[in-house]
Structure 1
Protein backbone atom coordinates (compact mmCIF):
# COMPACT_ATOMS: atom_id res chain seq x y z
CA UNK A 1 0.00 0.00 0.00
CA UNK A 2 1.11 3.56 -0.72
CA UNK A 3 1.57 5.59 2.45
CA UNK A 4 3.57 5.65 5.65
CA UNK A 5 3.35 2.50 7.81
CA UNK A 6 2.89 2.87 11.56
CA UNK A 7 2.24 0.57 14.49
CA UNK A 8 0.42 0.99 17.79
CA UNK A 9 1.10 -1.11 20.88
CA UNK A 10 -2.04 -1.70 22.93
CA UNK A 11 -3.02 -4.29 25.56
CA UNK A 12 -1.10 -7.33 24.38
CA UNK A 13 -1.16 -6.43 20.70
CA UNK A 14 0.65 -4.48 18.02
CA UNK A 15 -1.72 -2.99 15.47
CA UNK A 16 -0.32 -2.31 12.01
CA UNK A 17 -1.52 0.76 10.15
CA UNK A 18 -0.80 3.05 7.25
CA UNK A 19 -1.38 6.76 6.75
CA UNK A 20 -1.29 9.05 3.73
CA UNK A 21 -1.91 12.73 3.10
CA UNK A 22 -2.50 15.68 5.38
CA UNK A 23 -5.64 17.40 6.61
CA UNK A 24 -8.73 16.38 8.53
CA UNK A 25 -8.47 12.66 9.34
CA UNK A 26 -10.52 9.94 7.67
CA UNK A 27 -10.16 6.59 9.42
CA UNK A 28 -10.99 3.47 7.39
CA UNK A 29 -12.22 0.36 9.26
CA UNK A 30 -12.10 -2.89 7.31
CA UNK A 31 -14.61 -5.72 6.95
CA UNK A 32 -14.33 -9.00 8.83
CA UNK A 33 -13.17 -10.86 5.71
CA UNK A 34 -10.58 -8.26 4.71
CA UNK A 35 -7.83 -6.06 6.12
CA UNK A 36 -6.65 -2.49 5.62
CA UNK A 37 -5.73 -3.22 1.99
CA UNK A 38 -9.41 -3.15 1.00
CA UNK A 39 -9.25 0.65 1.23
CA UNK A 40 -6.23 1.35 -0.99
CA UNK A 41 -8.15 3.06 -3.79
CA UNK A 42 -10.22 5.16 -1.39
CA UNK A 43 -7.16 6.18 0.65
CA UNK A 44 -5.30 7.28 -2.47
CA UNK A 45 -8.12 9.56 -3.60
CA UNK A 46 -8.92 10.91 -0.14
CA UNK A 47 -5.27 11.81 0.45
CA UNK A 48 -5.04 13.44 -2.97
CA UNK A 49 -8.08 15.58 -2.15
CA UNK A 50 -6.46 17.04 0.97
CA UNK A 51 -7.47 14.70 3.78
CA UNK A 52 -5.38 12.47 6.01
CA UNK A 53 -6.29 8.84 5.21
CA UNK A 54 -5.63 6.25 7.91
CA UNK A 55 -6.31 2.53 7.98
CA UNK A 56 -5.18 -0.22 10.32
CA UNK A 57 -5.53 -3.96 10.76
CA UNK A 58 -7.62 -4.94 13.75
CA UNK A 59 -6.53 -7.78 16.00
CA UNK A 60 -6.74 -11.04 14.10
CA UNK A 61 -6.21 -9.46 10.68
CA UNK A 62 -3.48 -8.45 8.27
CA UNK A 63 -0.14 -7.52 9.75
CA UNK A 64 -1.39 -6.97 13.30
CA UNK A 65 -0.38 -9.45 16.01
CA UNK A 66 -2.08 -10.12 19.32
CA UNK A 67 -1.83 -12.36 22.32
CA UNK A 68 -5.05 -14.08 23.40
CA UNK A 69 -5.93 -11.43 25.99
CA UNK A 70 -9.14 -9.58 26.87
CA UNK A 71 -9.74 -6.72 24.45
CA UNK A 72 -12.33 -4.44 22.93
CA UNK A 73 -12.14 -3.12 19.37
CA UNK A 74 -13.50 0.27 20.44
CA UNK A 75 -10.69 0.64 22.99
CA UNK A 76 -8.21 -0.35 20.28
CA UNK A 77 -9.60 2.34 17.97
CA UNK A 78 -9.25 4.87 20.80
CA UNK A 79 -5.60 3.83 21.16
CA UNK A 80 -4.95 4.24 17.41
CA UNK A 81 -6.47 7.73 17.43
CA UNK A 82 -4.43 8.68 20.49
CA UNK A 83 -1.23 7.43 18.87
CA UNK A 84 -1.97 9.58 15.82
CA UNK A 85 -2.90 12.58 18.03
CA UNK A 86 -6.43 12.62 16.57
CA UNK A 87 -9.38 13.86 18.63
CA UNK A 88 -12.12 13.73 15.98
CA UNK A 89 -12.34 12.04 12.57
CA UNK A 90 -14.61 10.85 9.81
CA UNK A 91 -15.05 7.09 10.22
CA UNK A 92 -15.52 4.91 7.13
CA UNK A 93 -16.47 1.32 7.90
CA UNK A 94 -17.56 -1.72 5.91
CA UNK A 95 -19.40 -4.64 7.53
CA UNK A 96 -17.82 -5.29 10.95
CA UNK A 97 -15.80 -2.11 10.48
CA UNK A 98 -19.07 -0.21 10.17
CA UNK A 99 -20.32 -1.80 13.37
CA UNK A 100 -17.17 -0.63 15.11
CA UNK A 101 -17.66 2.91 13.76
CA UNK A 102 -21.24 2.92 15.09
CA UNK A 103 -20.22 1.68 18.53
CA UNK A 104 -17.50 4.34 18.70
CA UNK A 105 -19.98 7.04 17.65
CA UNK A 106 -22.43 5.99 20.35
CA UNK A 107 -19.73 6.10 23.02
CA UNK A 108 -17.93 9.24 21.77
CA UNK A 109 -20.42 11.26 19.70
CA UNK A 110 -18.32 14.43 19.90
CA UNK A 111 -15.36 12.71 18.29
CA UNK A 112 -17.05 11.73 15.01
CA UNK A 113 -17.23 14.29 12.20
CA UNK A 114 -19.10 11.95 9.89
CA UNK A 115 -19.89 8.30 9.27
CA UNK A 116 -19.73 6.27 6.06
CA UNK A 117 -21.27 2.83 6.61
CA UNK A 118 -21.12 0.19 3.88
CA UNK A 119 -23.15 -3.03 4.26
CA UNK A 120 -22.74 -2.35 7.92
CA UNK A 121 -22.83 -4.64 10.90
CA UNK A 122 -24.80 -3.30 13.87
CA UNK A 123 -24.31 -4.80 17.31
CA UNK A 124 -27.55 -6.55 18.32
CA UNK A 125 -29.23 -6.29 14.89
CA UNK A 126 -31.36 -9.17 13.54
CA UNK A 127 -29.86 -11.23 10.70
CA UNK A 128 -32.34 -13.65 9.12
CA UNK A 129 -31.04 -15.36 5.99
CA UNK A 130 -32.95 -16.81 3.04
CA UNK A 131 -32.83 -20.47 2.03
CA UNK A 132 -30.23 -19.81 -0.67
CA UNK A 133 -28.13 -17.85 1.79
CA UNK A 134 -28.50 -20.63 4.36
CA UNK A 135 -27.06 -23.15 1.90
CA UNK A 136 -23.89 -21.08 1.56
CA UNK A 137 -23.64 -20.73 5.33
CA UNK A 138 -23.94 -24.53 5.63
CA UNK A 139 -21.11 -24.98 3.13
CA UNK A 140 -19.06 -22.49 5.13
CA UNK A 141 -19.73 -24.37 8.37
CA UNK A 142 -18.82 -27.70 6.75
CA UNK A 143 -15.48 -26.39 5.48
CA UNK A 144 -14.72 -24.90 8.89
CA UNK A 145 -15.50 -28.12 10.74
CA UNK A 146 -13.25 -30.09 8.35
CA UNK A 147 -10.46 -27.56 8.82
CA UNK A 148 -10.32 -26.92 5.06
CA UNK A 149 -9.32 -23.26 5.15
CA UNK A 150 -8.79 -23.01 1.39
CA UNK A 151 -12.34 -24.19 0.74
CA UNK A 152 -13.67 -21.94 3.49
CA UNK A 153 -11.95 -19.00 1.84
CA UNK A 154 -13.53 -19.85 -1.52
CA UNK A 155 -17.01 -20.18 0.01
CA UNK A 156 -16.63 -16.85 1.77
CA UNK A 157 -15.48 -15.24 -1.47
CA UNK A 158 -18.75 -16.45 -3.01
CA UNK A 159 -20.76 -15.14 -0.05
CA UNK A 160 -19.18 -11.75 0.39
CA UNK A 161 -17.42 -10.82 -2.86
CA UNK A 162 -19.75 -12.32 -5.47
CA UNK A 163 -22.87 -12.07 -3.32
CA UNK A 164 -24.89 -14.99 -1.94
CA UNK A 165 -27.46 -15.00 -4.76
CA UNK A 166 -24.94 -14.41 -7.58
CA UNK A 167 -22.96 -16.93 -9.60
CA UNK A 168 -19.75 -18.15 -7.99
CA UNK A 169 -16.85 -16.26 -9.57
CA UNK A 170 -18.95 -13.26 -10.62
CA UNK A 171 -16.11 -11.00 -9.46
CA UNK A 172 -12.69 -11.99 -10.79
CA UNK A 173 -9.32 -10.46 -11.51
CA UNK A 174 -7.39 -8.36 -9.02
CA UNK A 175 -10.38 -7.90 -6.71
CA UNK A 176 -10.77 -11.65 -6.21
CA UNK A 177 -7.04 -12.20 -5.79
CA UNK A 178 -6.93 -9.49 -3.13
CA UNK A 179 -9.98 -10.82 -1.30
CA UNK A 180 -8.62 -14.37 -1.15
CA UNK A 181 -5.29 -13.10 0.13
CA UNK A 182 -6.77 -10.82 2.81
CA UNK A 183 -9.27 -13.39 4.04
CA UNK A 184 -6.71 -16.20 3.78
CA UNK A 185 -4.42 -14.32 6.16
CA UNK A 186 -7.26 -13.77 8.64
CA UNK A 187 -8.38 -17.40 8.54
CA UNK A 188 -4.89 -18.55 9.51
CA UNK A 189 -4.43 -16.15 12.42
CA UNK A 190 -4.43 -17.61 15.96
CA UNK A 191 -7.93 -17.57 17.45
CA UNK A 192 -8.70 -14.73 19.86
CA UNK A 193 -11.17 -15.98 22.45
CA UNK A 194 -11.43 -13.08 24.91
CA UNK A 195 -13.06 -10.26 22.96
CA UNK A 196 -15.28 -8.25 25.29
CA UNK A 197 -18.95 -8.00 24.34
CA UNK A 198 -20.06 -4.57 23.20
CA UNK A 199 -23.46 -3.13 24.12
CA UNK A 200 -26.27 -3.55 21.59
CA UNK A 201 -26.52 -0.59 19.23
CA UNK A 202 -29.51 -1.52 17.07
CA UNK A 203 -32.15 0.08 19.29
CA UNK A 204 -30.12 3.30 19.66
CA UNK A 205 -29.46 4.20 16.04
CA UNK A 206 -31.94 7.08 16.12
CA UNK A 207 -29.70 8.81 18.67
CA UNK A 208 -26.82 9.17 16.17
CA UNK A 209 -27.13 12.69 14.73
CA UNK A 210 -23.76 12.58 12.96
CA UNK A 211 -23.94 13.16 9.19
CA UNK A 212 -23.97 9.65 7.72
CA UNK A 213 -23.64 8.15 4.26
CA UNK A 214 -25.14 4.65 4.01
CA UNK A 215 -24.17 2.36 1.14
CA UNK A 216 -25.20 -1.20 0.35
CA UNK A 217 -24.87 -3.37 -2.74
CA UNK A 218 -28.00 -4.87 -4.24
CA UNK A 219 -26.19 -8.25 -4.48
CA UNK A 220 -25.47 -8.31 -0.73
CA UNK A 221 -27.29 -10.49 1.80
CA UNK A 222 -31.01 -9.66 1.98
CA UNK A 223 -30.86 -8.88 5.69
CA UNK A 224 -28.12 -6.31 5.09
CA UNK A 225 -30.20 -4.60 2.41
CA UNK A 226 -33.18 -4.58 4.79
CA UNK A 227 -30.95 -3.20 7.56
CA UNK A 228 -29.79 -0.45 5.19
CA UNK A 229 -33.41 0.54 4.57
CA UNK A 230 -34.14 0.50 8.31
CA UNK A 231 -31.13 2.67 9.15
CA UNK A 232 -32.01 5.16 6.42
CA UNK A 233 -35.31 5.71 8.24
CA UNK A 234 -33.99 5.57 11.81
CA UNK A 235 -30.89 7.75 11.55
CA UNK A 236 -31.98 11.41 11.47
CA UNK A 237 -29.06 12.74 9.40
CA UNK A 238 -28.42 9.88 6.96
CA UNK A 239 -28.23 9.79 3.18
CA UNK A 240 -28.67 6.31 1.68
CA UNK A 241 -27.45 4.85 -1.64
CA UNK A 242 -27.99 1.38 -3.12
CA UNK A 243 -25.17 0.30 -5.45
CA UNK A 244 -26.37 -1.71 -8.46
CA UNK A 245 -24.74 -5.04 -9.37
CA UNK A 246 -22.43 -4.86 -6.35
CA UNK A 247 -22.13 -7.14 -3.31
CA UNK A 248 -20.56 -6.70 0.14
CA UNK A 249 -17.07 -5.33 -0.65
CA UNK A 250 -17.70 -2.49 -3.14
CA UNK A 251 -14.46 -0.71 -2.24
CA UNK A 252 -12.49 -3.31 -4.21
CA UNK A 253 -15.23 -4.49 -6.59
CA UNK A 254 -16.36 -1.06 -7.82
CA UNK A 255 -14.17 1.73 -6.49
CA UNK A 256 -15.43 3.82 -9.40
CA UNK A 257 -18.83 3.87 -7.67
CA UNK A 258 -17.64 4.22 -4.09
CA UNK A 259 -14.96 6.88 -4.48
CA UNK A 260 -17.08 9.70 -5.97
CA UNK A 261 -19.77 9.19 -3.31
CA UNK A 262 -17.17 9.23 -0.56
CA UNK A 263 -15.50 12.38 -1.88
CA UNK A 264 -18.82 14.18 -2.27
CA UNK A 265 -19.69 13.31 1.31
CA UNK A 266 -16.32 14.57 2.56
CA UNK A 267 -16.75 17.79 0.61
CA UNK A 268 -20.10 18.31 2.33
CA UNK A 269 -18.54 17.59 5.74
CA UNK A 270 -15.74 20.07 5.17
CA UNK A 271 -17.97 22.77 3.71
CA UNK A 272 -16.32 22.61 0.30
CA UNK A 273 -19.63 21.85 -1.34
CA UNK A 274 -21.18 25.06 0.07
CA UNK A 275 -18.17 27.08 -1.05
CA UNK A 276 -18.47 25.73 -4.58
CA UNK A 277 -22.17 26.60 -4.68
CA UNK A 278 -21.36 30.20 -3.71
CA UNK A 279 -18.81 30.45 -6.52
CA UNK A 280 -21.28 29.35 -9.19
Structure 2
Protein backbone atom coordinates (compact mmCIF):
# COMPACT_ATOMS: atom_id res chain seq x y z
CA UNK A 1 0.00 0.00 0.00
CA UNK A 2 1.24 3.47 -0.92
CA UNK A 3 0.62 6.22 1.62
CA UNK A 4 -1.63 9.04 0.44
CA UNK A 5 0.67 11.90 -0.41
CA UNK A 6 1.30 14.93 -2.57
CA UNK A 7 4.41 16.37 -4.17
CA UNK A 8 4.95 20.09 -4.83
CA UNK A 9 7.87 21.98 -6.35
CA UNK A 10 11.27 21.03 -7.74
CA UNK A 11 14.73 20.69 -6.23
CA UNK A 12 16.18 18.78 -3.30
CA UNK A 13 13.46 16.69 -1.64
CA UNK A 14 12.07 17.62 1.77
CA UNK A 15 9.67 15.17 3.41
CA UNK A 16 7.15 16.45 5.96
CA UNK A 17 5.89 13.91 8.54
CA UNK A 18 2.82 14.95 10.51
CA UNK A 19 1.95 14.83 14.18
CA UNK A 20 -0.47 12.09 15.17
CA UNK A 21 -2.89 14.76 16.37
CA UNK A 22 -3.06 15.91 12.75
CA UNK A 23 -2.54 14.67 9.20
CA UNK A 24 -0.59 16.00 6.23
CA UNK A 25 -2.79 19.10 6.07
CA UNK A 26 -0.91 20.44 9.10
CA UNK A 27 1.89 21.42 6.71
CA UNK A 28 -0.26 23.72 4.55
CA UNK A 29 1.49 26.83 5.94
CA UNK A 30 4.96 25.45 5.15
CA UNK A 31 4.47 24.37 1.52
CA UNK A 32 4.71 27.81 -0.16
CA UNK A 33 7.81 28.83 1.82
CA UNK A 34 9.67 25.57 1.14
CA UNK A 35 8.78 25.54 -2.56
CA UNK A 36 9.85 29.18 -2.88
CA UNK A 37 13.17 28.22 -1.28
CA UNK A 38 13.78 25.70 -4.08
CA UNK A 39 12.63 22.38 -2.63
CA UNK A 40 10.54 19.51 -3.86
CA UNK A 41 8.16 18.98 -0.95
CA UNK A 42 6.65 15.57 -0.20
CA UNK A 43 4.06 15.11 2.53
CA UNK A 44 2.09 11.99 3.34
CA UNK A 45 -0.58 10.62 5.67
CA UNK A 46 0.38 7.73 7.93
CA UNK A 47 -1.94 4.73 8.06
CA UNK A 48 -5.21 5.66 9.76
CA UNK A 49 -4.75 9.40 9.21
CA UNK A 50 -5.99 11.77 6.53
CA UNK A 51 -6.62 9.89 3.30
CA UNK A 52 -4.64 6.72 4.13
CA UNK A 53 -6.73 3.75 5.33
CA UNK A 54 -6.12 2.11 8.69
CA UNK A 55 -3.61 -0.77 8.63
CA UNK A 56 -4.93 -4.24 7.90
CA UNK A 57 -1.88 -5.92 9.46
CA UNK A 58 1.03 -4.92 11.72
CA UNK A 59 3.01 -2.24 9.90
CA UNK A 60 5.85 0.23 10.32
CA UNK A 61 5.36 3.91 9.57
CA UNK A 62 9.09 4.24 8.92
CA UNK A 63 9.05 1.41 6.38
CA UNK A 64 5.96 2.91 4.75
CA UNK A 65 7.71 6.27 4.32
CA UNK A 66 10.85 4.67 2.90
CA UNK A 67 8.75 2.66 0.44
CA UNK A 68 7.06 5.89 -0.68
CA UNK A 69 10.43 7.58 -1.17
CA UNK A 70 11.63 4.61 -3.24
CA UNK A 71 8.51 4.90 -5.40
CA UNK A 72 9.16 8.62 -5.88
CA UNK A 73 12.82 8.08 -6.80
CA UNK A 74 14.11 9.99 -3.77
CA UNK A 75 17.18 8.13 -2.42
CA UNK A 76 18.37 11.00 -0.20
CA UNK A 77 16.06 13.48 1.48
CA UNK A 78 15.72 15.99 4.28
CA UNK A 79 13.15 14.99 6.91
CA UNK A 80 10.97 17.35 8.92
CA UNK A 81 8.88 15.62 11.57
CA UNK A 82 6.41 16.92 14.16
CA UNK A 83 5.69 14.96 17.35
CA UNK A 84 4.80 11.40 16.26
CA UNK A 85 6.12 12.24 12.81
CA UNK A 86 9.40 13.13 14.46
CA UNK A 87 9.50 9.67 16.01
CA UNK A 88 9.17 8.18 12.51
CA UNK A 89 11.87 10.51 11.17
CA UNK A 90 14.21 9.42 13.97
CA UNK A 91 13.69 5.75 13.07
CA UNK A 92 14.57 6.46 9.45
CA UNK A 93 17.55 8.72 10.19
CA UNK A 94 19.08 6.29 12.69
CA UNK A 95 18.27 3.09 10.80
CA UNK A 96 19.10 4.36 7.31
CA UNK A 97 21.50 7.26 7.89
CA UNK A 98 22.74 7.20 4.31
CA UNK A 99 19.30 8.32 3.13
CA UNK A 100 18.89 11.44 5.28
CA UNK A 101 20.73 14.69 4.55
CA UNK A 102 19.09 16.84 7.23
CA UNK A 103 16.71 16.21 10.12
CA UNK A 104 14.42 18.82 11.71
CA UNK A 105 12.34 17.59 14.65
CA UNK A 106 9.54 19.77 16.04
CA UNK A 107 8.44 18.80 19.56
CA UNK A 108 9.35 15.23 18.69
CA UNK A 109 8.26 12.00 20.29
CA UNK A 110 10.71 9.09 20.46
CA UNK A 111 10.15 5.33 20.64
CA UNK A 112 10.85 3.86 24.06
CA UNK A 113 10.16 7.05 26.01
CA UNK A 114 8.63 6.42 29.43
CA UNK A 115 5.77 8.89 29.80
CA UNK A 116 5.78 11.26 32.75
CA UNK A 117 2.79 11.88 35.01
CA UNK A 118 1.43 14.77 32.93
CA UNK A 119 1.47 12.82 29.67
CA UNK A 120 0.05 9.69 31.33
CA UNK A 121 -2.83 11.75 32.71
CA UNK A 122 -3.70 13.07 29.25
CA UNK A 123 -3.62 9.56 27.82
CA UNK A 124 -5.80 8.18 30.60
CA UNK A 125 -8.34 10.97 30.18
CA UNK A 126 -8.48 10.43 26.42
CA UNK A 127 -8.99 6.69 26.89
CA UNK A 128 -11.80 7.31 29.39
CA UNK A 129 -13.60 9.72 27.05
CA UNK A 130 -13.33 7.38 24.08
CA UNK A 131 -14.51 4.40 26.10
CA UNK A 132 -17.54 6.47 27.12
CA UNK A 133 -18.25 7.26 23.48
CA UNK A 134 -17.43 10.94 23.92
CA UNK A 135 -15.38 11.44 20.76
CA UNK A 136 -16.08 15.17 20.75
CA UNK A 137 -14.77 15.45 24.32
CA UNK A 138 -11.62 13.50 23.44
CA UNK A 139 -11.10 15.76 20.45
CA UNK A 140 -11.42 18.90 22.58
CA UNK A 141 -8.99 17.44 25.13
CA UNK A 142 -6.39 17.09 22.39
CA UNK A 143 -6.97 20.60 21.06
CA UNK A 144 -6.55 22.05 24.57
CA UNK A 145 -3.47 19.96 25.28
CA UNK A 146 -1.52 20.26 22.06
CA UNK A 147 -2.31 23.68 20.59
CA UNK A 148 -0.29 26.44 22.24
CA UNK A 149 -1.41 29.93 23.29
CA UNK A 150 -0.03 31.66 20.18
CA UNK A 151 -2.52 29.90 17.89
CA UNK A 152 -5.67 31.60 16.65
CA UNK A 153 -9.13 30.03 16.60
CA UNK A 154 -8.84 29.13 12.92
CA UNK A 155 -5.78 27.05 13.70
CA UNK A 156 -7.49 25.40 16.65
CA UNK A 157 -10.42 24.50 14.43
CA UNK A 158 -8.09 22.99 11.83
CA UNK A 159 -6.47 20.76 14.47
CA UNK A 160 -9.94 19.91 15.78
CA UNK A 161 -11.04 18.71 12.32
CA UNK A 162 -7.88 16.67 11.72
CA UNK A 163 -8.02 15.00 15.14
CA UNK A 164 -11.74 14.23 14.87
CA UNK A 165 -11.21 12.69 11.43
CA UNK A 166 -8.43 10.46 12.79
CA UNK A 167 -10.63 9.31 15.67
CA UNK A 168 -13.56 8.58 13.33
CA UNK A 169 -11.43 6.56 10.92
CA UNK A 170 -9.57 4.62 13.60
CA UNK A 171 -12.60 3.88 15.79
CA UNK A 172 -14.48 2.51 12.77
CA UNK A 173 -11.76 -0.06 12.06
CA UNK A 174 -12.82 -3.69 12.42
CA UNK A 175 -9.52 -4.60 14.08
CA UNK A 176 -6.67 -2.62 15.62
CA UNK A 177 -3.10 -3.55 14.78
CA UNK A 178 -0.34 -2.08 16.98
CA UNK A 179 2.38 -0.28 15.03
CA UNK A 180 5.77 -1.89 14.52
CA UNK A 181 8.44 0.43 15.94
CA UNK A 182 12.14 0.23 16.62
CA UNK A 183 14.01 2.26 19.22
CA UNK A 184 16.55 4.39 17.35
CA UNK A 185 20.18 4.82 18.33
CA UNK A 186 20.57 8.61 18.13
CA UNK A 187 24.35 8.30 17.92
CA UNK A 188 23.92 6.56 14.54
CA UNK A 189 22.39 9.68 12.97
CA UNK A 190 24.76 11.42 10.57
CA UNK A 191 22.38 14.10 9.23
CA UNK A 192 22.58 17.70 10.36
CA UNK A 193 19.94 17.90 13.06
CA UNK A 194 17.75 20.68 14.45
CA UNK A 195 15.56 20.04 17.49
CA UNK A 196 12.76 22.52 18.25
CA UNK A 197 10.76 22.49 21.48
CA UNK A 198 8.05 24.75 22.88
CA UNK A 199 8.08 26.44 26.28
CA UNK A 200 4.33 25.76 26.65
CA UNK A 201 4.52 22.09 25.63
CA UNK A 202 4.27 19.17 28.04
CA UNK A 203 7.46 18.54 29.99
CA UNK A 204 7.98 15.16 28.31
CA UNK A 205 8.61 16.68 24.90
CA UNK A 206 10.91 19.40 26.17
CA UNK A 207 12.96 16.74 27.95
CA UNK A 208 13.02 14.51 24.87
CA UNK A 209 14.41 17.35 22.76
CA UNK A 210 17.08 18.22 25.31
CA UNK A 211 18.08 14.57 25.67
CA UNK A 212 18.32 13.99 21.93
CA UNK A 213 20.41 17.14 21.53
CA UNK A 214 22.99 15.55 23.82
CA UNK A 215 22.94 12.21 21.97
CA UNK A 216 22.78 13.17 18.28
CA UNK A 217 26.23 14.25 17.07
CA UNK A 218 26.31 17.99 16.39
CA UNK A 219 22.59 18.54 16.98
CA UNK A 220 21.27 22.00 17.73
CA UNK A 221 18.34 22.57 20.11
CA UNK A 222 16.13 25.67 19.96
CA UNK A 223 13.32 26.24 22.47
CA UNK A 224 10.64 28.70 21.35
CA UNK A 225 9.32 30.69 24.30
CA UNK A 226 5.90 31.25 22.68
CA UNK A 227 5.26 27.72 21.39
CA UNK A 228 3.13 24.81 22.46
CA UNK A 229 3.30 21.38 20.84
CA UNK A 230 2.56 22.39 17.24
CA UNK A 231 4.70 25.47 16.52
CA UNK A 232 4.58 25.11 12.72
CA UNK A 233 0.81 25.64 12.92
CA UNK A 234 0.75 28.08 15.82
CA UNK A 235 3.11 30.64 14.27
CA UNK A 236 4.21 29.56 10.79
CA UNK A 237 5.62 33.01 10.10
CA UNK A 238 8.23 32.33 12.80
CA UNK A 239 8.89 28.65 12.04
CA UNK A 240 9.11 28.85 8.25
CA UNK A 241 12.27 31.02 8.19
CA UNK A 242 13.84 28.73 10.81
CA UNK A 243 13.21 25.67 8.63
CA UNK A 244 14.29 27.33 5.39
CA UNK A 245 17.52 28.58 6.96
CA UNK A 246 18.27 25.16 8.44
CA UNK A 247 17.61 23.34 5.18
CA UNK A 248 19.85 25.83 3.39
CA UNK A 249 22.61 24.91 5.81
CA UNK A 250 22.55 28.03 7.93
CA UNK A 251 21.34 26.56 11.22
TM-score range, shorter chain: over 0.9
Q: What are the equivalent positions in structure 2 for 1:129-168 lying under 5 Å apart?
A: 129-130=117-118, 135-162=121-148
Whose relative contact order is higher, 1 or 2, with alpha carbons under 8 Å and at least 6 apart? 2
Q: What are the equivalent positions in structure 2 for 1:1-280 lying under 5 Å apart?
A: 10=1, 14-130=2-118, 135-162=121-148, 171-190=151-170, 191=173, 193-201=176-184, 204-268=185-249
Q: Deviations over 1:22-70 (max 9, x none)?
A: 0000000000110001111112110111110110111000011245223
Inter-CA distance 125–137: structure 2 relative to 1 (3 Å threshold): closer
TM norm structure 1: 0.83
Q: Take 1:144 and 1:228, find their aligned partners in 2: how far apart are those partners?
A: 30
CA contact (8 A) 2:103 2:192 kept: yes
1:3 is matched with none
Aligned-residue CA RMSD (Å): 1.9
Higher CA-based Rg = 1
TM norm structure 2: 0.92
Q: Take 2:242 and 2:117, find their aligned partners in 1: how far apart are those partners?
A: 29
CA shift, 1:196, in A, is 4.4
Q: Deviations over 1:179-224 (max 9, x none)?
A: 00111110111346224432222xx212222100100111111011
CA contact (8 A) 2:151 2:235 kept: no
CA shift, 1:151, in A, is 0.7
Q: Take 2:24 and 2:73, find their aligned partners in 1: how far apart are those partners?
A: 20
Unaligned runs of 5+ in 2: none
The 10-residue stretch of structure 1 (184-193 or 41-50) with the greater mean CA deviation from structure 2: 184-193
